[in-house]
Structure 1
Amino acid sequence: MVLDDYCSNLIVDQNICVGPPGGIKEFVTIPGATVTKTATYATITASRPASVVSGTTYKCGKYYLVQPGDYCEIVAISNDISFALLRKLNPQLDEKCSNLLSGYHYCVLPYEDPSKTSSTTVQAPTSTPSGTTNTCYEWYVVQSGDSCSKIQDKYAIQFSQLKAWNPDLNDNCTNLLLGVAYCVHGPDTPAAQGAGKREPRQSPAKETASPRKRSEGAAGGVPVGWPGVDSPRYRKIMGLGPKDEI
């Protein structure tokens, strides 16, 4: 039996489950950890499986393959982490964990504290777009075939963050430039505001092009397609008589 949202379909003398298999596990936070961390860090990053959900951090020491019937609490308990940490490592998970996908891998062990922020800024390795923040802790130089979504997946960030650190990007990310450095770890931004929202349609990076030159013409010329000064149409509009033939 599946209870509805208002629990209006309870049936007398029917048993219902009120706890997970094996009982509720008590988490013990290790010294110095934040409340979202209940496990030690991995010493090396794990090989990334092909079936990893979009947005999952690359700084991961262990991946878990979701099985049919799994839900977030089971995944978290089985891997000694909290649900909050599971969401931080896999930010595409919603608050109710209603979008956990069977047959896909999720990160269940961080390589480093996901809440850690750097205090040392890094100089950009090459040119940057106009307006890009100088307070940046990690840069990425765009390669051929890149798109904003690929960069977001690689660094487990939201488009709202990428755009906040690189405001020159337009809303559809159609002006990503090859060979240019973009900040991928900058000052804290409200990334959660963009969580669960549809990301904009994005295009691959483009070559940096030289400004298009304006066509040169004689001063006082008229746009292409306008009637010539000697045309019958023009002379009629201007109230001029027919042009005398030579």
Structure 2
Amino acid sequence: MYTSFFTKFVALMAIASGVAGQGLPANCDRTMTVQAGNTCDDISAAYNVSTYQLASVNNATVDAGCDNLYVGEVLCLGITGQDCTTTHVIQSGDTCSSVSTAADISINLLLQNNPNVNTICTNLYPGEVLCTGNQTYVNVTYSK
């Protein structure tokens, strides 16, 4: 009960002080508020946003390791026109080939929309969320 009250209190204080929502990119299409225990990967999975997209659109406030999230922080989940909501959560044994086949997209499109994945797909990890949309979403720089 204390944790729930404390979490809500911190979130309200962040909003009241104007901290929450600072640094949101222009044309942010959708948002979420960080809760206690959230990680970038579980946020990505819960809101159908790739790990790369979440990190990219919030690069002004979230560090590369995504270890500086705070309760009450408002994150942008996608930019209008660049918001891939078709995703796949990587499971042990997944490969770029298996993911692209299941999504009925080319490996090239999978890699284009997930530039954090290396070209030989050896850096996938369980829990990572990939964009598996059937169009190009990652083609312009996210801007504030």
Query: Structures share a fold, TM > 0.5?
Result: no
**Structure whose residues are more often helix by fraction:** 2
Shorter chain as denominator, the TM-score bin is 0.3 to 0.5
* Structure with larger RCO (C-alpha < 8 A, sep 6+): 2
TM-score normalised to the size of structure 2?
Answer: 0.44
